[in-house]
Structure 1
C-alpha cells in the first residue's frame, strides 16, 4: 500500500479517535430529524398523522413492531397480483455508494407466537411474511442476505424463515438449504436455492449471519463485528457482480442493528476505495471540521429514508464508530 495513503488513514484514525468524547453532541443532531424533531417517542404518531406510512397502516399485522412503520416514499413495493404489495422494507441509497441497500424487518411466522408469547399487537397468532420476504429477495435481484440476529420466539426476535435442513415452502417459494457452515463464532454462512414454479424462477442466495448481537444492545467484542463487516464486503463483491445489485440487511426491526452495521460497512467500503485510488474526495461529506470521520450525514440519510430511529441510541452510534476505528487500526498497523 502507498505510504501516503496509509499516512492519511493514520491521521484520519487519530482525529476520529480524539473526538469520541463528543459523540453525545453528534447524536443530539440526529435526534432533530423529523417528522417530530427532538421528540423520539413522538416520531411514530407524527408519521401516522402526516400520512407518511400509509402502506404499513393498511397492513399493520404484517409489521413485527407496532411502532416501526417505514416511510412510504422509499418502501420496497412487491410485484404481485395475489398478495399485498407491502413488506416492511426500504430502499436505502447512500451518497457515494453505487450499490443500494435494502433494510428490512425480520420475517414473521406463526410458529414464533402463542398464548405465552404474543405479538407486539397483543395477539397469540401472527401472520407469515416469509413468502413476502423471499419474493422481495428474488425481485430485487439481490444475491446476498445479511442477518444480524439469532432465531428466537416473540416479536423482539426473528422467526425461522429458512430451512435448517432440506427444503421448506413459503407461499409460492421453495427454499432449499444447499450449504451451511459455522465459519466462526460470529459468522454462519449459508447458501439457499430459491424456486418459484409459477414464475419459473430459480436463484441461488448467499446468507451471512452474525448471531452475537443482542436486541437493543451492542456487540461485546468489536473485533468480531469488524471481522463480519469484512466478510460481508468480500462476499458482496464476490457474488454481486453488478454495481446495481443490492444487499439485503435485517435484524429484528431493521432499524438499530441494521443501521449500525450499514454505517460501518459503508465507511469500510469507502476506506478500501481510497486505498485503491488515493482519492481523498471519497470522504466528501464524511468528515467534520477537524478532519475526523463524522457519521451524522450518513445516519441522517438513513433516518430520512427508512425511519427516524435508524441506529437506535447513542450506544449503537458509538459502536459504529468503534467498529470503523477497529478496521482502521487493522489497516494502518499492517
Structure 2
C-alpha cells in the first residue's frame, strides 16, 4: 500500500519542481512578474516561462493581469496556503539541523517587543551582538499579541521569530517560556500624589487617567475589576505609546495604570513615581513565545537564551 502511494505521489509531482513553486509563492506575494524576477534573481522571461508551465499543469490561469498587478484566481488562492507551508517545512527540514554560529552568521531575526521592553532590551541586544555577533541584524517590531491562543497566528502571519509578550495567565503550550511576573500599579507625579507607596481608592477613582494598552481592544483588565465592585474610573485618553507619558504625566494630576517594568522607563529622570493599586489585580506574566514550526531552529534557541540573559525583570515594589 505504501509503495503504491509513493508511486502515485511521484506520478503527480514529477512535473513540478521546487523552482516552479518558488515562482508561484513569490508571484502571489509580489503580484508582479518584474518584482518576482528581481526577488528570485531571474530574468522576467524565465518567470513568465515558469508561470506558463504552472498554468498548463494546473489547467488554470492562476494569475490574471489587472490594474493592481497580477491577481490570483480562486484556485491560486486555495493553493497558496499549502504551497507556503510546504516551502516553509521543506526549508526547515533542510536547515533545521545546521549549526548556528552567531560569530559568523549573517542572519536577520524578526523580534517583536512591547514598547517598554524594547527600550530596556534593544540597547543590550545590539551592544551584545556588536561584540559577539557582528554579522547579525535585528528587525525589531511592535506587533500586538494579546493572548497565548492567538500568538501563533500573529507570529506566522508576520513571520516573527521571537516575541516578548505580557499575558494575563501562563500559557499551556510548549512554545512559550515564562520569564517573570510584572506587577500592575499606576504612575503619577510624586509632588502632587505624595511619597506613599500606594494610591487610596478614592483618589484613584476621582483622578483623571490616561489608559495605556498594547492590545487591539480598549484596556479591560482594570475596568473589569472595577465593574465587579460597581466602580468606575475617569479615563480622559487612551494610548498604546509609552514615550509621551513622561511629558503627559509630569506636573499634572493625571494617573496611568502600567506594569512595574513600564514604570522603570516612565519614571526615569523626573518626579514621577510608581504606586501600588488599591485593587487586587494579578501581575502580568511576561513570556517569550516563538513560531511553533521553528522548534528545531538552532538560531532561535540561541536567541531565546540570549534574551533570557539580557532582559531584566521588574524590581519588587518594595525596592
Q: TM-score, normalised by structure 1?
A: 0.22
Q: TM-score, normalised by structure 2?
A: 0.23
Which structure has the larger Rg? 2
- The structure where strand makes up a greater share of residues is 2
